Chains A and B, each alone.
Chain A
């Protein structure tokens, strides 16, 4: 057993081999499955309901419906990428709405000043959350639940539990009802924010740091990243985005309701988790989140066109989430097994 075979020539340094010689179908399913769901809903309804579903107005309508959830969800994406949960975003959105309406109505703030104040104040709440998590070391799930509940209490204290009506709402309402080139303002806000947040997350040192902290906090720290600071900033981004959604919500309704934005919590989580199964292998990202929001909105819209009861929407949303994430998980497992 001591024969010596002639050694084959070794590859040179930096030898790079061709990849993707054989396509891995499970990987394709895992990454694009969620998009296929969206596309198939669109195709099916375009065929079934060409006159109501497949119209420009309806498309704009869907995007407009998506905008407010999308803003919360994209903000929430940051703490999720950094590996933290934020359960306070729904209450923060309500808070943003109440505060905006209150500042305009009760304190006579001009609209831009009111918006600016809301963004700063919610940002500060995020700062406090972040400090509780990083300095004291309270688990983010609990810290954000606690802060969220306190914010809810503040909402009640500030309003006495009644919606804050704006007497002369016209200027404020314009924010969400006006449009430019036929497209309502909130759609622009959503798209501009998406572009901005995408660049921040993918093309800045800060964004790299957020991803690194989520991937391996200790390795990130030893790479010179200020892990705690990054975590705090992600909570601030999530909070301010929720605040902004609150403002837009108040503008849409002409008033600030104590619990107006609470339901955004679940929608935003659903969208981000759905999005984590889009294009990537279970990582949260901005584009995925956006697709998650739009998919749900398209589904709701289709059901409304069919005249289905509201409860179908919830059945749909829940099923969709489990289906997309489930398929992604199974596909990833299969892809790994057959890599």
Chain B
């Protein structure tokens, strides 16, 4: 492919700025009912540059991307490409203009194979109305190899793990040679190794003259990858920065509108020799969990670090009864614990915030209030002993959670589908907190949650732990493990080692995960 415009240096900085913007957006506005999702936002994206779009949950980032993609129509404003005004009223228009998208939510066809999914929307593969699969397969194979995919093209998407699905989704947007690629939180569900591969691809795209619009809540990668940063707040343009001119703290302040403390490393209390709430011994479910032995102590936050495919999600699902183990034993509070399903786990005080909010966590067409109470509807009884539920109580609980997690919604009766991605995530977390579990397992709880809300979420989790709840936290963002008392490192279906909180730095954990580190506790 020949780059339309080439910067002097790959991922160029000041000197390399081409004269005009490739894509420019002027005065874009969009409202939903009473909510002004975008309010006169202007933006310029240059060829060969990575332009980051950041902002708190519900700031309007995804709305902007959806308008560019032709999925939504703006109320006002205009979009120009290469200096010419364009109208994008349907996704095909965007495709024809050479714009490519990775949306925040997965939209693959589960029943289709990887190849079929990647061929959707891939022009040039049709001959006489028939799909000629060979070039498509060749192209898809190349793209996936570049992304380090470890699954075949003929696998059904339904059989892939969440991060593998993201790889497919990412690959699909890279099939065509685009002039601009917009990525809405592409790394949210990726672990360190996959994220690294993505960064390489983003840099490569920029080096080839493609403009990249990059949305993320992980500010380190934003500062690392991008040249220009646009900050949205409540639908309005709040700040513009050059990445070289700002540091993380300034950027955070600019996003949240106030000071946010960095994650404080939890210095374990001296009496760390608390007894175990849950004991797991020799838990096996091939191929992903191959003999896990682990204790979860009372009132601790135990992190589980690992790379993709290490078996962390599967381990969590076994403990929660979402899947049955082939062998091994678990005890909770000294009593046997063999949940036949999530209902038994919840009844005994074990809750799991699942990995993927839309398919596993939410009823998108139901209200916020309905979703928050779903796992604990027994607590909404009208009166004790009667089987009737009070709608008022459900609303009251939802309001409390909206308050506590700063969920941005126009009312607790709003469909969850209408919330922004990060706010949907907060709904899932509050649903399981409402169960008042004794053991709370969180699988990537902060996916899509903005910096400010993330800090608040840690505080809430810490407070729960201090009140006696045991917490197990799986995260791909190793910096989050700073709040943990201990961190277990999982590799190839087994627990490699357990590191004490103060030693669980990002570098130590990363090298342990790759199996190259010698550090231990």
Q: Within 8 Å CB of B16, what residues of A?
A: none
B200 close to chain A: CB less than 8 A: no
A283 & B365 in contact (Cβ 8 Å cutoff): yes
Among the stretches B126-134, B400-408, B487-495, B511-519, the one at the interface with A is: B400-408
Residue of B nearest to A1 (CB): B240
A223 & B239 in contact (Cβ 8 Å cutoff): no
| Given contacts A2-B242, A208-B377, A222 and B322 within 8 Å (CB-CB) | yes
A225 & B343 in contact (Cβ 8 Å cutoff): yes
How many A-B contacts at CB < 8 Å in the complex? 138
How many angstroms between the C-alpha atoms of A325 and B44 in the bound complex? 45
Q: Within 8 Å CB of B360, what residues of A?
A: 218-219, 222
B32 & A339 in contact (Cβ 8 Å cutoff): yes
Q: Pick the residue among B237, B407, B409 that contacts A5 (CB under 8 A).
A: B237
Among the stretches B80-88, B252-260, B299-307, B476-484, the one at the interface with A is: B252-260
Q: Pick the residue among B33, B257, B389, B407 that contacts A19 (CB under 8 A).
A: B33
Give the number of residues in A that approach B within 8 Å (Cβ atoms). Answer: 44
How many angstroms between the C-alpha atoms of A17 and B442 in the bound complex? 30
A10 & B233 in contact (Cβ 8 Å cutoff): yes
A56 close to chain B: CB less than 8 A: no
Among the stretches A209-217, A233-241, A264-272, A302-310, the one at the interface with B is: A209-217
How many angstroms between the C-alpha atoms of A223 and B389 in the bound complex? 17
Q: Within 8 Å CB of A224, what residues of B?
A: 342-343, 345-347, 375, 435
A80 CB to closest chain B CB, in angstroms?
15
Q: Within 8 Å CB of A14, what residues of B?
A: 399, 402-404, 406-407
How many angstroms between the C-alpha atoms of A5 and B40 in the bound complex? 14
B238 close to chain A: CB less than 8 A: yes
Residue of B nearest to A281 (CB): B365
A313 CB to closest chain B CB, in angstroms?
34
A4 close to chain B: CB less than 8 A: yes
Query: Chain A 44-81 against B: per-residue CB contact (8 Å), 1 yes, 0 no?
Result: 00000000000000000000000000000000000000
| Given contacts A16-B402, A208-B377, A224-B375, A8 and B233 within 8 Å (CB-CB) | yes
Q: Within 8 Å CB of A215, what residues of B?
A: 363-366
B378 close to chain A: CB less than 8 A: yes
Q: Pick the residue among A7, A8, A216 that contacts B254 (CB under 8 A).
A: A7
Q: Pick the residue among B257, B374, B408, B411 that contacts A212 (CB under 8 A).
A: B374
- Apart from A8-B236, A13-B403, A205-B389, 19 more pairs, CB < 8 Å: A2-B245, A5-B237, A7-B239, A10-B258, A14-B406, A16-B409, A17-B34, A19-B33, A20-B34, A208-B373, A208-B374, A216-B364, A222-B320, A222-B322, A222-B354, A224-B342, A224-B347, A225-B343, A283-B365
Of all A-B residue pairs in the complex, the 4 with the closest CB atoms, nearest first, are A13-B406, A215-B363, A10-B257, A224-B346
